[in-house]
Amino acid sequence: MLGIFEKSLKAGKFDDDMILDDGSKMVIEKIYPLDAVFDVPEDVPEDVMSNKRYAGLDGFTIQECADKVAADYGKIDIFIHSLANGPEVAKPLLETSRTGYIAAMSASSYSLVSCVQRFAPIMNKGGSVISLGFIASQQVVPSYGGGMSSAKAQLESDTRVLAWEAGRNYGVRVNCISAGPLKSRAASAIAQGDQRTFIEVGIDYYLANAPLQKNLYSDDIGSTVCGMVAPAFGAVTGTVLYVDNGMHAMGWACEQAGEKLWKRSEPLREDELMGAKYTSQDAASS
């Protein structure tokens, strides 16, 4: 992923997204290599060290990354944990191996614990750690397999414990954002049906059934993060905040069911949405 990101950045693929409100372009001062399944150099097996994907990288464990950041910047205010990996995510839980299950936990949830262990000591008091959860931690989301739902549940539970421990030890806040489906590179690889991917169906399912019938964008998540790391949220910690157009509040899909959406080849159109139908007696009777 590091190579893909650096090549895309150099090719200017992110140029439009990097324009700030004042018209200037965001500057990325430095990119640090990080493989969050390794805490310290001693954890890295020889076959990984000799793998060509790691060739030329100078220290990519969590501890080494934290040490580099401290050397370059001293103290920091914000740490965003936006990473996950489940090698068997396309498998149902009943078909998930022990190795795949533990790998999902290691990369997706324990990595937060390790990062807070090593970054909280170099954060200013009042600093903020944010991670990204998913509603599968609390409710069943078919096709989100390989132990990833368990990993997200662990991530959210650890958020509460880390909020207590990091708060008392370092004065740092720890929160989690549970976002609705976004068509990211990683999400697009979860499952593939005959016509559509898991994430494409998820986007339409939320669009059809959430209280706010509008698409969710990365800016929605980013804006929420900006708020949560700001001093205005200085008394908020240990919280899982849903940013999903209200879908987490729904107990019944009243408009579009998953089976129907999987069979589609195209996204839902605006004229297919029910809007206010069934929200009042007048609308329901019309």
Catalytic positions, please?
109, 152
Sign of the Cα pseudo-torsion (86, 58, 123, 38, in order): positive
Distance (Å, whole) CA 10 – CA 98: 39
Owner of token pair 């019944």: 252
Q: Are 135 and 243 in contact (CB under 8 A)?
A: no
Q: Are 236 and 173 in contact (CB under 8 A)?
A: yes
Name the residue among 161, 166, 97, 174 with its Cα closest to residue 131.
Answer: 174
Distance (Å, whole) CA 110 – CA 63: 14
Count Cβ atoms within 10 A of the Cβ of residue 63 and give its class: 0-12 exposed, 13-18 middle, 19 or more buried.
Answer: middle
* Residue 236 backbone dihedrals phi, psi, to 5 degrees: -105, 120
Residue 247 is classified by DSSP as: G
